[in-house]
């Protein structure tokens, strides 16, 4: 993981840099880390208060925490604890979604059909960058974002593909044919 540490109103010492790198190593147990992961750490000091902001860009989304404390090391510890809670919460949410029963999926399908209106119109346009990844990473990204579909570039075929969640709880894949 690439770690960028910036200081505002403070010079970052080697001890601070080492502590940040050591504290962020906890992510190894949740993700297979490589250089595609970036962590931006901003340390600022204002009127005897240290503020630690950590933003981690992953394939699955952005993790962010911000903590203010009198002591830099305490602020760093609290900020890392916040990040770990976010990751655990997302993993729990993901596993609960995967355990959804067929009955619940069927009830959701009925509710969705009742909510549909014939007067549908385009209300928003969004541009999406289709990142290169494999199918399993795309499914995990979709679940972490809480979406019902995810657009990505398949790393084997180099073609744009769409993975989607089916009403029965399984997944579907749309591939582009030229």
- List domains and CATH numbers for the chain: 2-97 (3.30.160.100), 102-110+125-175 (3.30.505.50)
Q: What percent of the chain has pLDDT over 70?
A: 78
Q: Over the stretch 26-72, which tens digit does the pLDDT of each residue have?
A: 777 766 656 666 777 888 888 788 898 988 877 667 788 899 999 98
What is the layout of strands, in order, in the sheet containing 38-46?
2-8, 38-46, 49-58, 61-69
Q: Over the stretch 4-15, which tens digit does the pLDDT of each residue have?
A: 888 888 888 899
pLDDT interval class at 102 (50, 70, 90) = very low
d(CA 163, CA 158): 15
DSSP secondary structure string for all residues of the chain: -EEEEEEESSPPPHHHHHHHHHHHGGGGGTS---TT-EEEEEEEEETTEEEEEEEEEETTEEEEEEEEESSHHHHHHHHHHHHHHHHHHHHHHHHHHHT--HHHHHHHHHHHHHH--S-------------EE-HHHHHHHHHHHT-SEEEEEETTT--EEEEEE-TTS-EEEEE---
pLDDT at 31: 66
User: What does residue 151 show for φ and ψ, rounded to 5 degrees?
Assistant: -100, 130
Closest CA to 56 of 46, 34, 41: 41
SS3 content of the chain, % helix, strand, coil (to 5): 40, 30, 30
Locate 81 and state its tokens. 């604890």
29 DSSP assignment: G
The whole-number average pLDDT for the span 97-114 is: 58
Q: Over the stretch 125-142, which tens digit does the pLDDT of each residue have?
A: 888 888 899 888 888 888
pTM above 0.85, yes or no: no
């Amino acid at each position: 993981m690439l770690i960028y540490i910036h200081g505002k109103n403070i010079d970052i010492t080697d001890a601070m840099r080492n502590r940040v790198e050591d504290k962020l190593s906890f992510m190894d147990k949740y993700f297979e880390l490589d250089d595609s992961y970036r962590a931006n750490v901003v340390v600022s000091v204002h009127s005897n208060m240290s503020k630690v902001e950590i933003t981690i860009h992953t394939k699955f989304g952005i993790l962010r925490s911000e903590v203010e404390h009198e002591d830099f090391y305490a602020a760093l510890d609290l900020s890392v604890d916040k990040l770990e809670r976010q990751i655990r919460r997302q993993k729990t949410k993901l596993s609960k979604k995967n355990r959804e029963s067929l009955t619940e999926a069927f009830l959701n399908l009925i509710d969705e059909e009742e909510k549909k209106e014939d007067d549908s119109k385009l209300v928003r346009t969004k541009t999406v960058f289709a990142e290169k990844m494999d199918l399993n990473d795309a499914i995990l990204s979709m679940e972490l974002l809480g979406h019902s579909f995810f657009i990505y570039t398949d790393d084997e075929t180099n073609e744009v593909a769409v993975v989607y969640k089916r009403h029965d709880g399984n997944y579907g894949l749309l591939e582009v044919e030229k």
